[in-house]
């Protein structure tokens, strides 16, 4: 991976320039889709075989990995390369993308608190995801929509959320 990552990124950006595709779009969407294709195939196979809990477990595990290991490593690697403990600077677009991704994640977590994902919930996530491509300069507004939907979903499904949290906190822990 270390041998080809830089070449892959350079080829991706070069192809984007030739096709007049925004470099940011390529790096944010095309590269991750290519790298996560095997995961998508595995999750799809689980879903096809009606192993919903395995499929959701794989997706949740991936998201936890992305938010903890990958996102947390960026400022750490930046600080190491800089030789100082300065924060990693983000431009306006990058801040908006982080906000949008966090808002998407919050909404998804709230939808999954009752340990189910309805077709309605999945449709909302997909629809809002697709909406950002139709209105690429409306990341903050779409983030606000995710926030409003998160609050509304918490209010509407509070019984399911309460049951899920009660179940989570009442589970016996492993003892040594």
Please give the residue that has the higher pLDDT: either 38 or 70. 38
* Domain residue ranges of the chain, discontinuous segments joined by +: 1-64, 90-176
d(CA 121, CA 128): 11
Rounded to two decimals, the pTM is 0.73
Q: What is the pLDDT of residue 175?
A: 52
Beta carbons within 10 angstroms of residue 104's beta carbon: 19
DSSP secondary structure string for all residues of 136-160: TT-HHHHHHHHHHHHHHHHHHTHHH
The two three-digit tokens of residue 155, written as one number? 């209010």
Residue 173 — pLDDT band, cuts 50, 70, 90?
low
pLDDT in tens, 41-98: 888 898 899 888 888 888 778 777 777 777 788 888 888 888 888 888 989 988 998 8
| For residue 2, pLDDT beyond 70 | no
| For residue 1, pLDDT beyond 70 | no
Q: What is the pLDDT of residue 127?
A: 93
| For residue 143, pLDDT beyond 90 | yes
């Amino acid at each position: 991976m270390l041998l080809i990552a830089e070449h892959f990124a350079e080829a991706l950006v070069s192809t984007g320039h030739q096709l007049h595709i925004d470099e940011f779009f390529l790096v944010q969407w095309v590269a991750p889709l290519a790298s996560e294709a095997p995961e998508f195939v595995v999750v799809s196979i689980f879903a096809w075989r009606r192993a919903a809990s395995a499929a959701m477990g794989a997706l949740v595990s991936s998201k936890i990995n992305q938010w903890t290991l990958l996102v947390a490593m960026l400022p750490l690697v930046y600080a190491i390369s800089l030789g100082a403990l300065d924060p990693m600077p983000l431009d306006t677009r990058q801040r908006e993308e982080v906000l949008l991704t966090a808002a998407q994640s919050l909404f998804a977590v709230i939808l999954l608190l009752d340990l189910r994902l309805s077709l309605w919930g999945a449709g909302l996530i997909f629809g809002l995801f697709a909406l950002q491509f139709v209105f690429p300069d409306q990341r903050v507004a779409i983030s606000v929509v995710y926030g409003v939907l998160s609050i509304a979903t918490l209010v509407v499904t509070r019984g399911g959320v309460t049951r899920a949290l009660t179940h989570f906190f009442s589970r016996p822990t492993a003892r040594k």
